[in-house]
Amino acid sequence: MTSCQVTFEVKGSSAAGEVFAICGSCSALGNWNPQAAVVLQPGDVTLEKTWKATVELPRGVPVQYRYFKGYFLEPRVFARLGGKNNTQETETDVFLQTIDGPCEVIVHTWETHLQPRSITPLENEITVDDGHFGICNGIETVDAGWLTCQTEIRLRLHYSEKPPVLISKKKFKTSRFRVKLTLEGLEKDDDEEGQEKTSPTVPQKMANTVEFSLISDDDYKCRHSQPDCGYALQPDRWIEYTIQTMEPDNLELIFDFFEEDLGEKVVQDDVLPGHVGSACLLSSTIAELGKSAGILTLAIMSRNPRKTIGKVRVDYIIIKPIQGYTCDMQASYAKYWKPRTTLDVGHRGAGNSTTTAKLAKVQENTIASLKSAASHGAAYVEFDVHLSKDHVPIVYHDLTCCMAMKKKLDTEPLELFEIAVKELTFDQLQLLKLAHVTALKVKDHNASFKEEENSACETQPFPSLQRVLESVSKDVGFNIEIKWISQQRDGQWDGNLSTYFDMNLFLDIILKTVLMNAGGRRIVFSSFHADICTMIRHKQNKYPVLFLTQGESKLYPELMDLRSRTTPIAINFAQFENLLGINVHSEDLLRNPAFIKRAISKGLVIFSWGDDANDPDNRKKLREYGVHGLIYDRIYDSNPEQPNIFQVEQLERLKKELPELKSCVCPSVSHFKSIAPCKCHHSYLEEKAVDNLKSVQMQKD
């Protein structure tokens, strides 16, 4: 096949060390893998640089591509002296030796238009001027990158449980404080360690970056700098420091504390007026703990004399790239939402079958329940996912279940005890006699198991996430709620579980299962745990995330996490983390419909969940208020068997493409798999029409 020389040009500004690159659908452009992308070279410097690269592409073959900017980090390189051999080398020849493998690519910003840029080269030499980075067909669509090889450390100070700073000196008992974080540098410098008497050649390195953020009911702010005396600690404010680094276990960070009103006597020419003390955090301390999340208590030392005067409580999470999976650049829906009428979402499939006033007819979170909702027009089905003891992603709502104790005599009543789902392997979950925790309140415990023993395979609880992905129609979207333990403000934990899986390991397993098996299915992740939402957003680049919140509720106890307590702070948190949107309890939205307008005005998608949404009148109100998705029980009570909105749209697209379908009034396309009479009995499909149908490329949006 003959080839063409194609020169790609794009304009854009970059920070120090940043470069532009192009990634696309052919091998010459990396097959969508940013690790194999082509780096563009800066051209003439005007107001904005023009970046160029010339690539050899096959003639007449359509190619799709996207631009991105970021860092290409060279592997660590060392110089060694060469020895005499049969070539022209001398004893003083110097050779560069790579010891760390291929270069690492860090994506800062990338183009995420639903349809990538495209070209079909036909001439020997072509120059493609793509204008400005991020703008295609007059529309600007870019998104922040995801974690490819770097680690993100989040340090937070907040009043969720107690004041984060405690100073024991009496004169500071009633003081309010400001805090400043400084990244001092590395605990150890490679240059100080003398790498086996080699002469190091300095490679391009990623600079450690720090971002300072404030989140409250009123607003959120993100900055790359901070005031000289830092930010004030306030009971209603969440302060977060975000550090991206290639050396997560080799950083030294200093917290400086200042009295808010500068009440301490200021020494003449003091460069730190009001300074109370400092605390040092070595990131190796976090690494040694081996946990993805936790709380550290650091000693605060006074300036003069140098002694301990208090302590600071620092909440942290460590976000790592997904292990064993590489995200590509082919498509991203993380911030995409097509305007439609309010979507119907089946709660736990066909509905809550355990704890609500009117129970669903099919057991919740089973394949049968999900299929039931799908057959009655649900655009999405919502279900809950966590892990078994042997790390199999399973679908089940509660973190605990009931296990039956085997008795010697059948006449003795069955005894139940509550056990955490995470303590049972996947095989045990399939084979043992298990029941919902509500069985503990029932006198006849045997009755809790009879229905399960006689039920069909698809109505059995604890299906694997992979089996669900394979069994439910691809035309139905999945709203996958990631379960995680949450603490109530009174100190009680979900399921009385204060410890759980490692958060990075937990999410890597679930995310890989979805990314590898979802195919073209629409996926939306959600979680009540703010850190789970943060991690999902930064670990992968394909699927959107909704932050679940109960807001202010009379039905549920208040949560410990400040970010979960009100709908306004949930809105600001979603903006701060660049999430698709929020999923709010219907009780709060019906009481405060202005929250819906506020979320939409901020560019967020808003779903609603809760028992109030089971009432048709309330659903009508929420639709009129403009929510994008309604999660409710027993969708079969409201809708007959019918296709969902995506299937209807698909058929309409097909009718435009294929004349043979124009007379068809049947709303589903599933019966076009073979040459057979159309279900509506208004037309027959000829073999030619079937062949045409197979040639139509369906694009979901």
> Confidence band (pLDDT; 50, 70, 90) for 414?
confident
Residue 103, pLDDT > 70, answer yes
Q: What percent of the chain has pLDDT over 90?
A: 71
Q: Which two tokens stand for residue 506?
A: 């937990």
- Cβ atoms 678, 685 nearer than 8 A: yes
Distances (CA, A) of 391 to 237, 302, 317, 334, 394: 36, 47, 21, 26, 9
How far apart are the C-alpha atoms of 78 and 201, rounded to whole Å? 6
Q: What is the pLDDT of residue 1?
A: 75
Judge if the upstream peptide bond of residue 305 is cis by omega within 30 degrees of 0.
yes
Q: What is the pLDDT of residue 654?
A: 87
Pick from 365, 347, 355: nearest CA to 438: 355
Q: Which two tokens stand for residue 477?
A: 């979207």
How far apart are the C-alpha atoms of 373 and 376, rounded to whole Å? 5
DSSP run (H or E) holding 397: none
User: Does 420 or 265 have the greater pLDDT score?
Assistant: 420
- Rounded mean pLDDT, 10-23: 94
Residue 456, pLDDT > 80, answer no
Q: What percent of the chain has pLDDT over 70?
A: 81
Report the b/e string of 556-590 with b at 16+ CB within 10 A: eeebbbbbbbbbbbbbbbbbbbebbbbbbbbbbbb
Q: What is the pLDDT of residue 647?
A: 95
- Rounded mean pLDDT, 50-68: 97
Q: What is the pLDDT of residue 673?
A: 39
DSSP-assigned beta bridge partners for residue 607 = 583, 629
The owner of tokens 């993380």 is 334
How far apart are the C-alpha atoms of 396 and 348, rounded to whole Å? 9
User: Does 77 or 465 have the greater pLDDT score?
Assistant: 465
Q: Nearest-5° angle of CA 284, CA 326, CA 285?
A: 5
For the chain, the average pLDDT equals 86
Q: How many Cα atoms are found within 13 Å in the side-chain-facing hemisphere of 339?
A: 3
- Cβ atoms 387, 393 nearer than 8 A: yes
Distances (CA, A) of 7 to 3, 36, 69, 228, 307: 13, 18, 18, 47, 64
How far apart are the C-alpha atoms of 362 and 460, rounded to whole Å? 10
DSSP-assigned beta bridge partners for residue 347 = 382
HEC sequence for 614-682: HCHHHHHHHHHHCCCEEEECCHHHHCCCECCHHHHHHHHHHHHHCHHHCCCCCCCCHHHHCCCECCCCC
**Beta strands of 216-320 (E only): which ranges?**
220-223, 231-232, 238-245, 251-259, 275-282, 293-302, 308-319
Q: What is the pLDDT of residue 305?
A: 80
Residues 6+ apart with CB under 8 A from 71: 17, 18, 19, 104, 105, 106, 108, 204, 206
Residues comprising the chain, all counted: 701
> Confidence band (pLDDT; 50, 70, 90) for 81?
very low
User: Does 655 or 13 have the greater pLDDT score?
Assistant: 13
- Rounded mean pLDDT, 298-305: 89
How far apart are the C-alpha atoms of 330 and 23, rounded to whole Å? 9
Q: Which two tokens stand for residue 590?
A: 């019906």
Q: What is the pLDDT of residue 437?
A: 81
CA 133 from centroid of its chain's CA atoms: 25
> Confidence band (pLDDT; 50, 70, 90) for 669?
very low
Tell me the pLDDT tens digit for each residue of 198-231.
333 333 566 788 999 999 999 999 998 999 899 9
> Confidence band (pLDDT; 50, 70, 90) for 452?
low
DSSP-assigned beta bridge partners for residue 200 = 78
- Rounded mean pLDDT, 233-261: 93
- Rounded mean pLDDT, 91-98: 42
Q: What is the pLDDT of residue 57?
A: 97
> Confidence band (pLDDT; 50, 70, 90) for 695?
very low
Handedness of CA 512, 517, 519, 523 (dihedral sign): negative
- Rounded mean pLDDT, 623-645: 97
- Rounded mean pLDDT, 45-51: 76
Q: Nearest-5° angle of CA 167, CA 173, CA 174?
A: 130
Distances (CA, A) of 143 to 146, 231, 243, 576, 610: 9, 28, 19, 13, 32
Residues 6+ apart with CB under 8 A from 216: 234, 236, 237, 238, 569, 572
Q: What is the pLDDT of residue 432?
A: 84
Tell me the pLDDT tens digit for each residue of 569-605.
999 999 999 999 999 999 999 999 999 999 999 999 9
Exposed, middle or buried, 553 (CB in 10 Å: 0-12/13-18/19+)? middle
CA 441 from centroid of its chain's CA atoms: 37
**What is the C-alpha end-to-end distance of the chain, expressed in Å?**
34
Give me the helices (H) in 432-484, please: 447-454, 465-471
Range of weakest confidence among 69-83, 119-133, 504-518: 69-83
Residue 679, pLDDT > 90, answer no
The owner of tokens 């036909």 is 122
How far apart are the C-alpha atoms of 573 and 536, rounded to whole Å? 14
Q: What is the pLDDT of residue 199?
A: 32
Distances (CA, A) of 261 to 360, 557, 601: 59, 36, 37
Residues 6+ apart with CB under 8 A from 339: none
- Cβ atoms 8, 40 nearer than 8 A: yes
> Confidence band (pLDDT; 50, 70, 90) for 511?
very high
Residue 442, pLDDT > 90, answer no
Tell me the pLDDT tens digit for each residue of 319-374.
999 999 999 999 999 999 999 999 999 999 999 999 888 999 999 999 999 999 99
What is the model's pTM?
A: 0.89
